[in-house]
Protein backbone atom coordinates (compact mmCIF):
# COMPACT_ATOMS: atom_id res chain seq x y z
CA UNK A 1 0.00 0.00 0.00
CA UNK A 2 1.04 3.60 -0.55
CA UNK A 3 2.24 5.48 2.50
CA UNK A 4 -0.45 7.64 4.16
CA UNK A 5 0.06 11.35 3.74
CA UNK A 6 -0.75 14.20 6.07
CA UNK A 7 -4.20 15.63 5.43
CA UNK A 8 -4.44 19.41 5.26
CA UNK A 9 -8.02 20.74 5.05
CA UNK A 10 -8.72 23.18 2.23
CA UNK A 11 -9.41 26.82 3.17
CA UNK A 12 -13.15 26.27 2.60
CA UNK A 13 -13.23 23.26 4.92
CA UNK A 14 -11.35 25.24 7.56
CA UNK A 15 -13.83 28.10 7.20
CA UNK A 16 -16.73 25.64 7.51
CA UNK A 17 -15.27 24.26 10.74
CA UNK A 18 -14.95 27.79 12.12
CA UNK A 19 -18.55 28.52 11.13
CA UNK A 20 -19.79 25.41 12.96
CA UNK A 21 -17.85 26.35 16.10
CA UNK A 22 -19.09 29.93 15.95
CA UNK A 23 -22.72 28.81 15.50
CA UNK A 24 -22.53 26.49 18.50
CA UNK A 25 -20.88 29.16 20.62
CA UNK A 26 -23.46 31.72 19.55
CA UNK A 27 -26.37 29.48 20.50
CA UNK A 28 -24.72 28.72 23.85
CA UNK A 29 -24.50 32.44 24.61
CA UNK A 30 -27.80 33.46 23.02
CA UNK A 31 -30.19 30.47 22.72
CA UNK A 32 -32.81 32.58 20.93
CA UNK A 33 -30.41 32.92 18.01
CA UNK A 34 -30.70 29.22 17.10
CA UNK A 35 -32.76 29.82 13.91
CA UNK A 36 -29.99 32.05 12.55
CA UNK A 37 -27.33 29.53 13.48
CA UNK A 38 -29.29 26.69 11.93
CA UNK A 39 -29.81 28.70 8.74
CA UNK A 40 -26.11 29.47 8.47
CA UNK A 41 -25.18 25.82 8.92
CA UNK A 42 -27.82 24.67 6.43
CA UNK A 43 -26.47 27.12 3.87
CA UNK A 44 -22.94 25.90 4.50
CA UNK A 45 -23.93 22.27 4.04
CA UNK A 46 -25.81 23.14 0.86
CA UNK A 47 -22.68 24.82 -0.50
CA UNK A 48 -20.47 21.85 0.37
CA UNK A 49 -22.98 19.47 -1.21
CA UNK A 50 -23.12 21.54 -4.40
CA UNK A 51 -19.33 21.59 -4.66
CA UNK A 52 -19.29 17.80 -4.36
CA UNK A 53 -21.41 17.71 -7.53
CA UNK A 54 -18.80 19.82 -9.38
CA UNK A 55 -16.14 17.25 -10.37
CA UNK A 56 -13.47 19.77 -11.37
CA UNK A 57 -13.73 21.83 -8.19
CA UNK A 58 -10.66 22.09 -5.98
CA UNK A 59 -12.49 23.82 -3.13
CA UNK A 60 -12.98 20.58 -1.17
CA UNK A 61 -9.32 19.59 -1.59
CA UNK A 62 -6.53 19.35 -4.16
CA UNK A 63 -7.71 18.05 -7.53
CA UNK A 64 -5.47 17.15 -10.48
CA UNK A 65 -7.36 18.59 -13.44
CA UNK A 66 -4.38 19.19 -15.73
CA UNK A 67 -0.87 17.87 -15.90
CA UNK A 68 1.65 20.08 -14.10
CA UNK A 69 3.45 22.84 -16.01
CA UNK A 70 6.63 20.78 -16.37
CA UNK A 71 4.68 18.10 -18.28
CA UNK A 72 3.00 20.72 -20.47
CA UNK A 73 6.42 22.14 -21.38
CA UNK A 74 7.36 18.66 -22.64
CA UNK A 75 4.31 18.61 -24.89
CA UNK A 76 2.59 15.87 -22.91
CA UNK A 77 -1.12 15.02 -22.78
CA UNK A 78 -2.61 12.93 -19.98
CA UNK A 79 -4.82 10.13 -21.27
CA UNK A 80 -7.14 8.24 -18.91
CA UNK A 81 -9.64 5.42 -19.38
CA UNK A 82 -12.34 4.78 -16.78
CA UNK A 83 -14.74 2.06 -15.62
CA UNK A 84 -12.82 -0.97 -16.90
CA UNK A 85 -11.38 -3.38 -17.39
CA UNK A 86 -13.71 -4.75 -20.05
CA UNK A 87 -12.84 -8.00 -21.86
CA UNK A 88 -14.27 -6.73 -25.17
CA UNK A 89 -12.94 -3.18 -25.18
CA UNK A 90 -9.79 -2.97 -23.04
CA UNK A 91 -7.64 -5.29 -25.23
CA UNK A 92 -8.53 -3.24 -28.32
CA UNK A 93 -7.68 0.00 -26.51
CA UNK A 94 -4.33 -1.46 -25.45
CA UNK A 95 -3.57 -2.51 -29.03
CA UNK A 96 -4.28 0.99 -30.36
CA UNK A 97 -2.11 2.58 -27.68
CA UNK A 98 0.75 0.16 -28.42
CA UNK A 99 0.54 0.88 -32.14
CA UNK A 100 0.87 4.62 -31.46
CA UNK A 101 3.52 4.27 -28.76
CA UNK A 102 1.16 6.04 -26.35
CA UNK A 103 0.79 5.57 -22.61
CA UNK A 104 -2.32 6.00 -20.46
CA UNK A 105 -3.76 5.50 -17.00
CA UNK A 106 -6.63 3.10 -16.45
CA UNK A 107 -8.93 4.02 -13.55
CA UNK A 108 -10.23 0.55 -12.80
CA UNK A 109 -13.28 -0.51 -10.84
CA UNK A 110 -11.70 -3.01 -8.46
CA UNK A 111 -14.65 -5.42 -8.55
CA UNK A 112 -14.33 -5.69 -12.33
CA UNK A 113 -10.54 -5.91 -12.12
CA UNK A 114 -10.84 -8.89 -9.75
CA UNK A 115 -12.98 -10.64 -12.37
CA UNK A 116 -10.39 -9.99 -15.11
CA UNK A 117 -6.91 -10.15 -13.55
CA UNK A 118 -5.31 -10.95 -16.91
CA UNK A 119 -6.48 -7.60 -18.29
CA UNK A 120 -4.90 -5.79 -15.36
CA UNK A 121 -1.61 -7.56 -16.06
CA UNK A 122 -1.92 -6.59 -19.73
CA UNK A 123 -2.40 -2.94 -18.78
CA UNK A 124 0.74 -2.97 -16.65
CA UNK A 125 2.79 -4.94 -19.19
CA UNK A 126 1.83 -2.36 -21.82
CA UNK A 127 3.57 0.35 -19.79
CA UNK A 128 0.38 1.92 -18.45
CA UNK A 129 -0.72 2.56 -14.88
CA UNK A 130 -3.65 1.18 -12.94
CA UNK A 131 -5.41 3.73 -10.76
CA UNK A 132 -8.24 3.53 -8.23
CA UNK A 133 -11.84 4.12 -9.36
CA UNK A 134 -13.49 2.60 -6.25
CA UNK A 135 -14.49 -0.94 -5.37
CA UNK A 136 -18.08 -1.05 -6.68
CA UNK A 137 -18.57 2.27 -8.53
CA UNK A 138 -21.68 2.89 -6.44
CA UNK A 139 -24.12 5.60 -7.51
CA UNK A 140 -24.40 6.40 -3.79
CA UNK A 141 -20.69 7.14 -3.47
CA UNK A 142 -21.04 10.91 -2.96
CA UNK A 143 -23.56 10.35 -0.13
CA UNK A 144 -21.48 7.82 1.80
CA UNK A 145 -20.22 8.37 5.32
CA UNK A 146 -16.57 8.15 6.21
CA UNK A 147 -16.69 4.44 7.13
CA UNK A 148 -18.27 3.44 3.82
CA UNK A 149 -15.83 5.65 1.91
CA UNK A 150 -12.91 3.96 3.64
CA UNK A 151 -14.24 0.55 2.64
CA UNK A 152 -14.85 1.55 -0.99
CA UNK A 153 -11.48 3.23 -1.43
CA UNK A 154 -9.46 0.91 0.80
CA UNK A 155 -10.68 -2.40 -0.57
CA UNK A 156 -10.19 -1.13 -4.11
CA UNK A 157 -6.66 -0.06 -3.20
CA UNK A 158 -5.92 -3.51 -1.76
CA UNK A 159 -7.30 -5.39 -4.76
CA UNK A 160 -5.66 -3.20 -7.39
CA UNK A 161 -2.31 -3.21 -5.61
CA UNK A 162 -2.34 -7.01 -5.55
CA UNK A 163 -3.32 -7.32 -9.21
CA UNK A 164 -1.08 -4.58 -10.62
CA UNK A 165 1.93 -5.18 -8.41
CA UNK A 166 2.05 -1.52 -7.35
CA UNK A 167 -0.33 0.70 -5.39
CA UNK A 168 -2.43 3.18 -7.34
CA UNK A 169 -1.37 6.77 -6.72
CA UNK A 170 -4.53 8.51 -7.89
CA UNK A 171 -8.25 8.14 -7.21
CA UNK A 172 -11.21 9.25 -9.30
CA UNK A 173 -14.67 9.04 -7.69
CA UNK A 174 -17.59 7.54 -9.64
CA UNK A 175 -18.82 10.22 -12.07
CA UNK A 176 -16.38 12.58 -10.35
CA UNK A 177 -18.89 13.18 -7.50
CA UNK A 178 -17.75 13.32 -3.88
CA UNK A 179 -18.31 14.92 -0.49
CA UNK A 180 -16.04 16.71 2.03
CA UNK A 181 -15.22 13.42 3.80
CA UNK A 182 -13.37 11.96 0.81
CA UNK A 183 -10.20 14.04 0.98
CA UNK A 184 -9.07 12.82 4.44
CA UNK A 185 -9.91 9.24 3.40
CA UNK A 186 -7.67 9.56 0.34
CA UNK A 187 -4.87 10.98 2.48
CA UNK A 188 -5.09 7.92 4.72
CA UNK A 189 -4.40 5.68 1.73
CA UNK A 190 -1.73 7.91 0.21
CA UNK A 191 -3.95 8.77 -2.76
CA UNK A 192 -4.49 12.01 -4.69
CA UNK A 193 -7.73 13.06 -6.35
CA UNK A 194 -7.64 13.32 -10.16
CA UNK A 195 -10.39 14.32 -12.57
CA UNK A 196 -9.97 15.83 -16.04
CA UNK A 197 -9.49 18.91 -18.20
CA UNK A 198 -12.18 17.69 -20.56
CA UNK A 199 -14.23 14.59 -21.25
CA UNK A 200 -16.01 13.45 -24.38
CA UNK A 201 -18.99 11.74 -22.71
CA UNK A 202 -18.14 8.58 -24.65
CA UNK A 203 -19.97 6.50 -22.02
CA UNK A 204 -23.31 8.08 -23.00
CA UNK A 205 -22.92 9.65 -26.46
CA UNK A 206 -23.28 7.37 -29.47
CA UNK A 207 -21.82 9.93 -31.88
CA UNK A 208 -18.03 9.42 -32.30
CA UNK A 209 -17.61 12.69 -34.23
CA UNK A 210 -19.23 14.66 -31.41
CA UNK A 211 -17.08 12.96 -28.79
CA UNK A 212 -13.97 13.69 -30.86
CA UNK A 213 -14.89 17.36 -31.23
CA UNK A 214 -15.31 17.78 -27.48
CA UNK A 215 -11.94 16.20 -26.75
CA UNK A 216 -10.00 18.10 -29.42
CA UNK A 217 -11.60 21.52 -28.99
CA UNK A 218 -8.88 23.91 -27.74
CA UNK A 219 -6.61 20.94 -27.01
CA UNK A 220 -3.31 22.02 -25.46
CA UNK A 221 -0.25 20.43 -23.93
CA UNK A 222 -0.92 19.53 -20.31
CA UNK A 223 -4.57 18.67 -20.84
CA UNK A 224 -5.93 15.61 -19.04
CA UNK A 225 -8.49 13.73 -21.17
CA UNK A 226 -10.99 11.14 -19.96
CA UNK A 227 -12.47 8.30 -22.01
CA UNK A 228 -14.00 4.94 -21.07
CA UNK A 229 -12.86 1.41 -21.77
CA UNK A 230 -15.64 0.22 -19.46
CA UNK A 231 -19.29 1.29 -19.74
CA UNK A 232 -18.57 2.35 -23.32
CA UNK A 233 -21.45 3.68 -25.40
CA UNK A 234 -22.04 1.91 -28.72
CA UNK A 235 -22.56 3.36 -32.16
CA UNK A 236 -25.68 2.49 -34.15
CA UNK A 237 -23.88 -0.58 -35.53
CA UNK A 238 -22.80 -1.74 -32.06
CA UNK A 239 -19.13 -0.67 -32.11
CA UNK A 240 -17.75 0.92 -28.90
CA UNK A 241 -17.50 4.68 -29.42
CA UNK A 242 -14.08 4.81 -27.76
CA UNK A 243 -12.64 2.50 -30.44
CA UNK A 244 -13.91 4.85 -33.15
CA UNK A 245 -12.55 7.96 -31.44
CA UNK A 246 -9.19 6.78 -30.09
CA UNK A 247 -7.33 6.25 -33.41
CA UNK A 248 -8.26 9.73 -34.63
CA UNK A 249 -7.37 11.19 -31.26
CA UNK A 250 -3.92 9.60 -31.31
CA UNK A 251 -3.38 10.82 -34.88
CA UNK A 252 -4.30 14.34 -33.78
CA UNK A 253 -1.78 14.16 -30.94
CA UNK A 254 0.97 13.13 -33.36
CA UNK A 255 0.06 15.87 -35.83
CA UNK A 256 0.33 18.47 -33.09
CA UNK A 257 3.57 17.11 -31.66
CA UNK A 258 1.93 15.95 -28.43
CA UNK A 259 2.78 12.77 -26.50
CA UNK A 260 0.14 10.80 -24.59
CA UNK A 261 1.43 9.82 -21.14
CA UNK A 262 0.15 8.07 -18.05
CA UNK A 263 -0.03 9.66 -14.63
CA UNK A 264 3.28 7.96 -13.84
CA UNK A 265 4.75 11.09 -15.47
CA UNK A 266 3.25 13.29 -12.72
CA UNK A 267 5.27 14.15 -9.65
CA UNK A 268 3.13 13.77 -6.52
CA UNK A 269 4.80 16.82 -4.99
CA UNK A 270 3.73 18.91 -7.96
CA UNK A 271 0.29 17.29 -8.10
CA UNK A 272 -0.31 18.30 -4.49
CA UNK A 273 -0.01 21.94 -5.48
CA UNK A 274 -2.75 21.76 -8.15
For residue 4, being part of any structural domain is answered with no
Are both 105 and 240 inside the same structural domain? yes
Are both 39 and 108 inside the same structural domain? no
d(CA 59, CA 221) in angstroms, rounded, equals 24
Residues 165-177 have pLDDT tens digits of: 999 999 999 999 9
pLDDT given at position 269: 62
Task: Please report which residue ranges of the chain form alpha helices under DSSP H.
Answer: 11-29, 34-52, 69-73, 90-100, 110-115, 117-125, 146-164, 182-188, 208-216, 241-255, 268-271
Are both 33 and 135 inside the same structural domain? no
Mean pLDDT of 76-88: 98
For residue 61, being part of any structural domain is answered with no
Domain count, the chain: 2
Contacts of 156 (CB under 8 A, 6+ apart): 109, 110, 132, 133, 134, 135
Q: Is 151 helix (H, G, I), strand (E, B) or coil?
A: helix
d(CA 97, CA 261) in angstroms, rounded, equals 10
Are both 46 and 157 inside the same structural domain? no
Domain span at 139 = 69-271
For residue 58, being part of any structural domain is answered with no
Are both 18 and 144 inside the same structural domain? no
Residues 40-77 have pLDDT tens digits of: 878 988 888 888 889 999 999 999 999 999 999 999 99
Lowest mean pLDDT of 7-21, 101-115, 137-151, 172-186, name the range: 7-21
Are both 117 and 173 inside the same structural domain? yes
pLDDT band, very low/low/confident/very high, at 239 (cuts 50, 70, 90): very high
Are both 214 and 111 inside the same structural domain? yes
Residues 192-203 have pLDDT tens digits of: 999 999 999 999
CB 105 within 8 A of CB 263: yes
CA angle, corner 213, sides to 211 and 217, nearest 5?
130
Are both 29 and 101 inside the same structural domain? no
Mean pLDDT of 103-130: 98
Residue 274 has pLDDT above 60, yes or no: no
Q: What is the DSSP letter of 32?
A: G
Are both 135 and 43 inside the same structural domain? no
For residue 218, being part of any structural domain is answered with yes
Residue 262 has pLDDT above 80, yes or no: yes
The dihedral over CA atoms of 17, 22, 27, 29, expressed in degrees to the nearest 10, equals: 150
Are both 100 and 185 inside the same structural domain? yes
CB 66 within 8 A of CB 274: yes
For residue 6, being part of any structural domain is answered with no
Are both 165 and 126 inside the same structural domain? yes
Residue 248 has pLDDT above 70, yes or no: yes
Q: Three-state SS string across 210-262, please?
A: HHHHHHHCCCCCCEEEEEECCCCCECCCCCEHHHHHHHHHHHHHHHCCCEEEC
Are both 265 and 231 inside the same structural domain? yes
For residue 156, being part of any structural domain is answered with yes
pLDDT given at position 48: 84
Q: Is 6 helix (H, G, I), strand (E, B) or coil?
A: coil
CATH number reported for the structural domain that contains residue 96 in this entry: 3.20.20.370
**Beta strand pairing status for 198-199 and 192-193?**
unpaired
Mean pLDDT of 211-227: 97
pLDDT band, very low/low/confident/very high, at 266 (cuts 50, 70, 90): very high
Rg (CA), the chain: 20
For residue 62, being part of any structural domain is answered with no
Q: Model pTM? A: 0.93
Mean pLDDT of 207-227: 97
Amino acid sequence: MAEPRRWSPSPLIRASAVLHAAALAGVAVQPAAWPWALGALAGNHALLGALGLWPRSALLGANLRRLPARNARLGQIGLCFDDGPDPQVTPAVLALLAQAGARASFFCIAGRAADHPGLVRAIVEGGHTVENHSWHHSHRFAAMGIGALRREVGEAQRILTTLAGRPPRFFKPPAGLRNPLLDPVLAGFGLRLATWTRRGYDAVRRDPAGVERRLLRDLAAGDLLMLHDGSAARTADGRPVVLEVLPRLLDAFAARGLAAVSLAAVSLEVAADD
